[in-house]
């Protein structure tokens, strides 16, 4: 379907892309280096108080400029404002900083622009399901343009915390469980926000967060402890951040959590050794909200003074919201407890970003140079992102797609079918529900006759326990030719501080599905949620299951396009779906263990004979009651056609040090529908200095094939793809045998191998 605004080549590029993370643009990093001279010159002119002022970020006043804030900015005691989105107030704040302060240093204006601004994209986890870095880049570019109309020049995104626990509410803001996918999509988002020249109108500084390990919070409880061995930290959790630094990200934010006993906001290993010394990062590091003040609550420090010294010494350049730096750092320098050079280093990182953003040349926002928010181009980007994020999990008897012409009436059931706000998802402070197109609206438009659609809300919210609306819903289902029930979570049930111990469908939604099943009509479930859910109690009750995440402003048209076959679904899971919560954490890139479960060795609880003698002989690493496989694996997603994989080959069975191999496979569309497939490449290092995962994602491509069309897809595997941190924390590539898979999910069994030799 050709868009009214996108050219055909650009539309094709957004629909089908080949991934090459090495193309990440690091122009911002080069721009930071270019301004070193100007930064040093300005530092020499600054007083100690002015320097510490640059390290202070304060919350805005919601459209006004109180006298206290005006005075603080004029006195040089503020370097950044966050959460001010009134353009007149922002320009006035900048005017005070530039025209009334002694040195005229402009302000950074920060805001959480997580998945859109007024126009809302799918939640980041949904964007990850597109496996399309170009649509992620375009979405961030759109969000930057819209945010810039409010004077924002700095966003606290992307969040690239690898997480393998769907109980964690902030999984909604992540790109899922895999470090490679995080790195590719995070770099794409950074390129979208910052562009090739971040000083141009409509470009804003990105911030990779949360550094580091936040996604491993114990029990999935937000803000909780993370215990991650250094080898696991380097081989998994740090990889996306390294990719972000290589992509030229302007800033990083520290994590709320502690890491092996040292909170990230005071962690010298992370902030000095890894980030600055090993990676050479030149941008700024900002704390999370009040995380410096919270160091004493963790029990790392005794009071705010110790907290300020711990954070600044570790490498935090700017304090968000609280004022421990402003109250304590000057006295620490004057007493000799803190070297003045440390302050200069921290402030230099902040000033360098301000110069690179062009704020000294253009501190004010001219909205006439920016497109209006919610325009047709932005809505089309949101629609494409939503469309590509949809993952078809079940489709028994080819229930989908529905035929709009021959399907007489449709019952649309559930509280999420027509709720413009809830489909936007978590963390959308500036999202405009007035731009939302709901599934019910889109279904009615598709059928063209409102009388063919009957909508029954059935439940007040997704958490409702009442069955008072069930009878009407079942009546509507019985009278219809097909039933589409919208299930899931309201947006408030995921996101920061919204972790869940039970990740099944909340309320009595499962009972609603069981009641609708009794109507005997084709039953399609569409799930909107901010996380993977345990769906075992409804999977067998429905004929088709489409996972829509929280799809954003244009979720309705995207869902309708797939339901009625105008588009074939192409989304793939960026995270494993467990059968039950007791399997968590369950993820594809696990270690093999010494007793791996296999179909031949696994024994289910129901298969254990009565009176069987107690024994562990022959038993394996698994749960007796849940098995060792997930409900749906990482990378999984159905289409309206069948893709067949064959003829996997490697360019050479032996690879020399530094050599790049080509791995290829034939992919054929064996059905009668044109569709897009995400072809995935996985590698396993069979023997290592430390044990390696059973599979690791190393590449993917989106390809579109016509019915009957076949194509040979090629991937390059180079030394970097085979490298890992060994037991000495050295990055190494070891000789030995490697297995390679190409397929449509992490469970692909199309495999070949090669051997890496040392000479």
Phi, psi dihedrals of residue 215, rounded to the nearest 5° = -70, -5
Q: Is 319 helix (H, G, I), strand (E, B) or coil?
A: strand
Phi, psi dihedrals of residue 41, rounded to the nearest 5° = -65, -40
Q: Please calculate the CA angle 469-473-477 and round it to the nearest 5 degrees.
A: 170
Distance CA 311, CA 299 (A): 14
Q: Please calculate the CA angle 266-267-272 and round it to the nearest 5 degrees.
A: 110
Q: Is 216 helix (H, G, I), strand (E, B) or coil?
A: helix
Closest CA to 322 of 337, 305, 298: 305
40-48 contact pairs (CB < 8 A, 24+): 40/348, 42/103, 42/105, 42/351, 43/344, 43/347, 43/348, 43/351, 45/103, 46/76, 46/103, 46/347, 47/76, 48/330, 48/333, 48/334, 48/340, 48/343
Which two three-digit tokens encode residue 712? 């040979």
User: DSSP assignment, residue 250?
Assistant: S
Catalytic residue, from 178, 258, 288, 317: name it. 288
Which two three-digit tokens encode residue 595? 């007793």
Residue tagged 């004979």 (tokens):
609
What radius of gyration do the chain's Cα atoms show?
27
Q: Which residues pair with 454 in a beta bridge?
A: 411
Which two three-digit tokens encode residue 109? 């204006």
CA separation (Å) from 546 to 132, 170, 381, 418? Answer: 19, 22, 21, 17
Distance CA 377, CA 3 (A): 9
DSSP string across 68-137:
HHHHHHHTT--SEEES---HHHHHHHHHIIIIISSS-PPPEEEE--SSBSSSBPPPHHHHHTTT-HHHHH
288 belongs to the catalytic site:
yes
Q: Which residues pair with 120 in a beta bridge?
A: 116
Angle between helical axes of 470-479 and 509-517 (0-180°, round to 10): 30
Q: How many CB atoms lie within 10 A of CB 708?
A: 10
- Which parts of 162-250 are beta strand (E)? 207-211
Distance CA 494, CA 168 (A): 8
What dihedral angle (degrees, nearest 10) is formed by the CA atoms of 236, 238, 241, 246? -90
Residue tagged 């110069």 (tokens):
355
- List, in sequence order, the alpha helices (H) in 324-419: 324-334, 340-356, 376-389
Q: Which residues contact 89 (CB under 8 A, 6 or more apart)?
A: 60, 61, 63, 64, 65
Closest CA to 116 of 145, 88, 87: 145
266 near 300, Cβ under 8 Å? yes
Distance CA 17, CA 700 (A): 9
User: DSSP assignment, residue 273?
Assistant: I
Q: Please calculate the CA angle 88-42-87 and round it to the nearest 5 degrees.
A: 10
Distance CA 17, CA 13 (A): 6
Phi-psi domain of 593 (left: phi exceeds 0; alpha: psi -120 through 50; beta: other): left
Distance CA 562, CA 569 (A): 6
Distance CA 143, CA 202 (A): 9
Looking at the annotation, which residues are catalytic? 288
């Amino acid at each position: 379907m050709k868009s009214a605004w996108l050219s055909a080549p650009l539309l094709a590029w957004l629909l089908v892309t080949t991934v090459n993370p090495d193309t990440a643009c690091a122009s911002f990093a080069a721009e930071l280096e270019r301004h070193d001279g100007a930064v040093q010159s300005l530092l020499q002119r600054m007083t100690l108080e002015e320097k510490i002022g640059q390290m202070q970020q304060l919350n805005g006043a919601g459209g006004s400029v109180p006298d206290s804030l005006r005075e603080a900015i004029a006195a040089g005691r503020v370097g950044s404002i966050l959460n001010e989105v009134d353009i007149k107030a922002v320009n006035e704040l900048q005017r005070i900083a530039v025209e009334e302060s002694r040195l005229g240093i402009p302000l950074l204006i920060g805001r959480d622009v997580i998945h859109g601004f007024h126009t809302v994209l799918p939640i980041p986890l949904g964007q990850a399901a597109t496996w399309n870095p170009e649509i992620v880049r375009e979405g961030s570019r759109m969000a930057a343009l819209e945010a810039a109309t409010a004077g924002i020049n700095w966003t606290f995104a992307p969040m690239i915390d690898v997480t393998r626990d769907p109980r964690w509410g902030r999984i909604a803001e992540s790109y899922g469980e895999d470090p490679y996918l995080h790195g590719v999509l995070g770099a794409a988002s950074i390129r979208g926000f910052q562009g090739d020249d971040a000083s141009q109108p409509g470009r804003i500084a990105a911030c990779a967060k949360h550094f580091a390990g936040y996604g491993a919070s114990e029990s999935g409880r937000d803000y909780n402890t993370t215990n991650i061995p250094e080898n696991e930290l380097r081989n998994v959790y740090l990889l996306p951040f390294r990719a972000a630094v290589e992509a030229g990200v302007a800033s990083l934010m520290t994590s709320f959590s502690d890491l092996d006993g040292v909170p990230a906001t005071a962690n010298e290993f992370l902030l000095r050794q890894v980030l600055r010394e090993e990676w050479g990062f030149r941008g700024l590091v900002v704390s999370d909200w009040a995380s410096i003040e919270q160091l004493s609550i963790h029990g790392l420090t005794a009071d705010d003074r110790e907290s300020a010294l711990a954070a600044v010494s570790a490498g935090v350049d700017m304090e968000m919201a609280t004022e421990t730096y402003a109250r304590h750092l000057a006295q620490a320098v004057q007493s000799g407890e803190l070297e003045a050079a440390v302050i200069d280093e921290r402030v230099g990182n902040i000033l360098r970003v301000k110069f690179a953003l062009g704020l000294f040349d253009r501190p004010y926002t001219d909205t006439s140079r920016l497109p209006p928010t919610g325009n047709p181009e932005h809505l089309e980007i949101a629609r494409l992102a939503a469309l590509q994020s949809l993952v078809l999990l079940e489709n028994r008897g080819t229930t989908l797609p529905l035929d709009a012409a021959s399907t007489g009436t449709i019952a649309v059931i559930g509280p999420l079918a027509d709720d413009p706000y809830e489909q936007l998802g978590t963390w959308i402070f500036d999202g405009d529900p007035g731009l939302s197109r709901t599934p019910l609206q889109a279904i009615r438009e598709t059928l063209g006759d409102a009388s063919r659609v009957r909508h029954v809300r059935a439940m007040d919210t997704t958490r409702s326990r009442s069955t008072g609306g069930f009878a009407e819903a079942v009546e509507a289902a019985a009278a219809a030719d097909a039933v589409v029930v919208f299930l899931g979570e309201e947006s408030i049930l995921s996101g920061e501080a919204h972790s869940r111990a039970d990740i099944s469908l909340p309320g009595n939604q499962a009972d609603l599905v069981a009641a609708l099943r009794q109507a005997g009509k084709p039953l399609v479930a569409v799930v909107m949620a901010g996380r993977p859910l345990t769906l075992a109690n409804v999977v067998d009750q429905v004929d088709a299951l489409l996972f829509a995440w929280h799809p954003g402003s244009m979720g309705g048209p995207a869902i309708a396009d797939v339901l009625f076959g105008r588009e074939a679904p192409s989304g793939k899971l960026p995270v494993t779906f467990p059968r039950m919560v007791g399997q968590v954490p369950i993820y594809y890139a696990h270690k093999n263990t010494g007793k791996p479960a296999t179909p031949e060795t696994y024994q289910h609880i129901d298969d254990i004979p009565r009176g069987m003698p107690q024994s562990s002989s022959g038993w394996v690493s698994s749960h007796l009651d849940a098995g060792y496989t997930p409900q749906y694996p990482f990378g999984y997603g159905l289409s309206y056609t069948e893709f067949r994989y064959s003829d996997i080959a490697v360019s050479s069975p032996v690879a020399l040090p530094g050599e790049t191999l080509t791995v290829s496979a034939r992919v054929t569309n064996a059905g009668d529908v044109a569709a897009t497939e995400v072809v995935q490449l996985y590698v396993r290092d069979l023997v290592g200095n430390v044990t390696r995962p059973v599979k690791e994602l190393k590449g993917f491509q989106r390809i579109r094939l016509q019915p009957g069309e076949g194509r040979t897809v090629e991937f390059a595997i180079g030394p970097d793809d085979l490298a890992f941190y060994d037991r000495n924390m050295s990055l190494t590539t070891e000789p030995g045998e490697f297995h390679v898979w190409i397929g449509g999910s992490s469970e692909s069994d199309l495999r070949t191998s090669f051997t890496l030799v040392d000479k």
